[in-house]
Amino acid sequence: GKRFGLIGHPVAHSLSPQMHNDAFKDCQIDADYVALDVEAGDLEEVTEKIRKGEIDGVNVTIPHKVAIMNFLDEIDREAERIGAVNTIVRHNGKLVGYNTDGAGYMQSIESYLPSNVKDMNILVIGAGGAARAVCASFLGAGVSSLVVANRTKEKADTLLNLISTNQDQTNAMTLSEAENGLEKFDLIVNTTSVGMSPYTEQIPISLRKLKDKAIVSDLIYNPLETAFLKEAAESGATTVNGVGMFVNQGALSFEYWTGIKPDRKRMTNIVLKTLG
């Protein structure tokens, strides 16, 4: 059978193996997917194994999404824009890096958005790798008003300088500036790790002045409902947790490897069951 895996450090608690193994089974593909705990110094060795066919493809996670790019033969345009790779595919002996995080996020939020996504005022909280994937996708979708707020404002500036082609449409700010201007945003996305288990009581910004009918989304899926989403729901917002992004980024990787569309509902159920 074929061999796939997730390279990261640490990876022991990842839900990806269960999700992908179930999808392989469901699609009757003879393959397995394992978590591979790899330290930075061993990235080259792992990529050689993929080149030689000992491994057929991998997902890449924290902290290797940027460093892995040095060992690949080609980087897909979207991954280049995001500046990180989360999926490696072997094409004719060449290793190609893709990034399915941004597209996975867009698929997860799609059904919640009005048809005029381009006119929405969007606030992204955080300026790390996840923020960059989400922002690149929004800008790719033609969004014309995007604010990135971060604890360290300079990082928000740097992120936008890297991916924004029209500085009139994007703006960097501090977390408190975002908090104070909250009533302006139609969609608010937390991409920081604030509120992730075990720090479940923390929130990245307070949501006191939410716009009517605002949508609040959190990339975190453990806990399923972060304190941030709880506060948003109490204020009457529509909330979207991080399970959809996780499932969709995995499904898109699966499609790159196999050419087959896995059953996302089934994948979601596996994830929800595993999270308890």
How many residues touch ligand ATR under the rule CB under 6 A: the total is 15
| 264 backbone dihedrals φ, ψ, rounded to 5° | -65, -30
| Contacts to ligand ATR from residues 63-122, by CB under 6 A | none
CB under 8 Å to 18, separation ≥6 — which residues?
Answer: 270, 274
CB 152 to ligand ATR: min, Å: 3
The answer to whether 130 contacts ligand ATR (rule: CB under 6 A) is yes
CA distance 149 to 174: 5
CB 250 to ligand ATR: min, Å: 16
The answer to whether 242 contacts ligand ATR (rule: CB under 6 A) is no
CA dihedral 206, 210, 215, 217 (to 10 degrees): -10
The answer to whether 226 contacts ligand ATR (rule: CB under 6 A) is no
The answer to whether 61 contacts ligand ATR (rule: CB under 6 A) is no
Candidate residues 150, 190, 248, 249; the one interacting with ligand ATR per rule CB under 6 A: 150
Between CA 130 and CA 245, with CA 79 as vertex, the angle to 5 degrees is: 40
Asked if residues 191 and 126 have their Cβ atoms less than 8 Å apart, the reply is: yes
CB 168 to ligand ATR: min, Å: 24
Partners of 190 in the beta sheet? 125, 218
The answer to whether 191 contacts ligand ATR (rule: CB under 6 A) is yes
Active site residues: 65
Asked if residues 204 and 195 have their Cβ atoms less than 8 Å apart, the reply is: yes
3-state class of 214 per DSSP? Answer: coil
Candidate residues 82, 127, 163, 252; the one interacting with ligand ATR per rule CB under 6 A: 127
CB 133 to ligand ATR: min, Å: 8
Binding residues (CB under 6 A) for ligand ATR: these are 126-131, 150-152, 155, 191-194, 204
